[in-house]
């Protein structure tokens, strides 16, 4: 097998990491590179394991995403939807197993496969009642609200030959840079428009135009739809009501232009920080630690940074 190259690519999460702390960005995309085969106990191995850790809220969101992916992928393959009970039962079993192996810090053996939580790594005291609430409100509550939603009803009504993707990782090229996307669910509606849906497990309500713009630009290329033929849908699974709410966002030309300007600026800034942009080589010194220590409180890299 040819050697893997640390090729430059861009994603919205990379953009956010770059904006949050340059050192965390370096550790995630450069310092940890090759850590999967580095010796146990080495610095690169440590950074690789740490970068894979999630906070408990990120973990809860990923459990919900994984469950919905399983539910919809199984329905796509077989034409039959699981019952709600089966969905909840499988989710509970997986969440329990992931939590238990994380508590044992098993991720140090194989971080690419075994889930790890920042709270377990750093021994943060989280009361049992908080874990319980996280499970009941975010994970199980989110799935129940999805189940009761108009969005799920529409998905059930849409013939499977109009389903376009179920949370598959893909990429496209924007002005020479690879852009990663994973759309939670996309389908072609009865009017021929492409609906791209994103599951939201947080409570924020601010519409993320960059995210919707990236999806729309990808959808245009991937499925050959005109600029006004894509509709973004943010589906909020958290909240008080019984059913998830959907907020639709049109990807109009102004929004797409703004999105491309953000991507262009972000890519240029990231490349400018490299010592050799053509070969994607970075040096630690160009990526300082953030000044505001408040940012470090939940960071997985706080031990190597000396900010415990």
**Least gap, CB of 22 to ligand SF4 (angstroms):** 8
Query: In this complex, which beta carbon is closest to ligand SF4, that of residue 164 or of residue 295?
Result: 295
Task: Give the nearest distance from C-beta 35 to ligand SF4 in angstroms.
Answer: 15
Q: Which of 97, 124, 180, 44 is nearest to 299 (CA)?
A: 124
Cβ contact 108:52 at 8 Å: no
| C-alpha triplet 242, 100, 125: angle, nearest 5° | 80
Two structure tokens written together for 176: 């020479």
Q: In this chain, which stretch among 20-28, 159-167, 222-230, 276-284 interacts with ligand SF4, using CB under 6 A?
A: 20-28
Residues 240-299 that bind ligand SF4 (CB under 6 A): 289-290, 295-296, 299
Nearest approach in angstroms of CB 178 to ligand SF4 is 25
- Give min distance, CB of 21 to ligand SF4, in A: 3
Instruction: Output the smallest distance, CB 203 to ligand SF4, in A.
Output: 23
Q: Does 307 bind ligand SF4 (CB under 6 A)?
A: yes
Q: Which is closer to ligand SF4, CB of 205 or CB of 293?
A: 293
Cα-to-chain-centroid distance, residue 45: 23
Asked if 301 interacts with ligand SF4 (CB under 6 A), we say yes
Q: Please report, for the chain, how many H helices and E strands are present, in that order.
A: 12, 8
Q: Which of residues 22-51 bind ligand SF4 (CB under 6 A)?
A: 23-24, 27
User: Does 120 participate in binding ligand SF4 (rule CB under 6 A)?
Assistant: no
Alpha-helix runs per DSSP H in the chain: 12-20, 22-26, 43-51, 56-78, 84-103, 118-121, 128-133, 141-147, 150-157, 209-223, 253-272, 302-305
Non-local CB neighbours of 192 within 8 Å, separated by 6+ positions: 229
| Least Å from the CB of residue 98 to ligand SF4 | 24
In the bound state with ligand SF4, the residue whose beta carbon lies nearer, of 19 and 281, is 19
Using CB under 6 A as the binding criterion, the count of chain residues that bind ligand SF4 stands at 13
Residue 178 token pair: 């690879």
Contact residues for ligand SF4 (CB under 6 A)? Answer: 21, 23-24, 27, 289-290, 295-296, 299, 301-302, 305, 307
């Amino acid at each position: 097998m040819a050697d893997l190259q640390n090729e430059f690519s861009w994603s919205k999460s990379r953009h956010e990491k770059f904006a949050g702390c340059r050192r965390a960005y370096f550790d995630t995309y450069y310092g940890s590179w090759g850590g999967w085969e580095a010796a146990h106990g080495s610095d690169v191995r440590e950074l690789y394991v740490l970068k894979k850790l999630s906070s408990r809220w990120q973990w809860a969101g990923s459990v919900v995403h994984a469950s919905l992916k399983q539910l919809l992928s199984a329905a796509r393959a077989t034409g039959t939807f699981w019952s709600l009970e089966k969905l909840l039962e499988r989710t509970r079993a997986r969440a329990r197993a992931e939590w238990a192996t994380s508590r044992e810090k098993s991720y140090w053996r194989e971080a690419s496969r075994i889930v790890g939580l920042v709270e377990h790594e750093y021994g943060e005291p989280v009361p049992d009642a908080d874990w319980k609430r996280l499970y009941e409100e975010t994970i199980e509550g989110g799935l129940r609200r999805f189940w009761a939603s108009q969005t799920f009803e529409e998905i059930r009504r849409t013939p499977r030959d109009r389903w376009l993707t179920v949370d598959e990782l893909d990429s496209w090229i924007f002005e020479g840079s690879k852009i990663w996307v994973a759309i939670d669910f996309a389908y072609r509606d009865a009017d021929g428009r492409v609906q791209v849906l994103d599951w939201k497990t947080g409570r924020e309500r601010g519409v993320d135009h960059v995210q919707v713009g990236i999806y729309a630009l990808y959808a245009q290329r991937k499925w050959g739809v005109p600029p006004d033929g894509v509709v973004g849908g943010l589906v909020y699974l958290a909240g008080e009501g019984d059913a998830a709410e959907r907020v639709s966002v049109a990807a109009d030309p102004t929004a797409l232009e703004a999105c491309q300007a953000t991507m262009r600026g972000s890519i240029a800034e990231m490349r400018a920080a490299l010592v050799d942009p053509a070969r994607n080589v970075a040096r630690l010194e160009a990526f300082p630690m953030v000044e505001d220590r408040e940012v470090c409180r939940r960071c997985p890299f706080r031990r190597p940074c000396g900010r415990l």
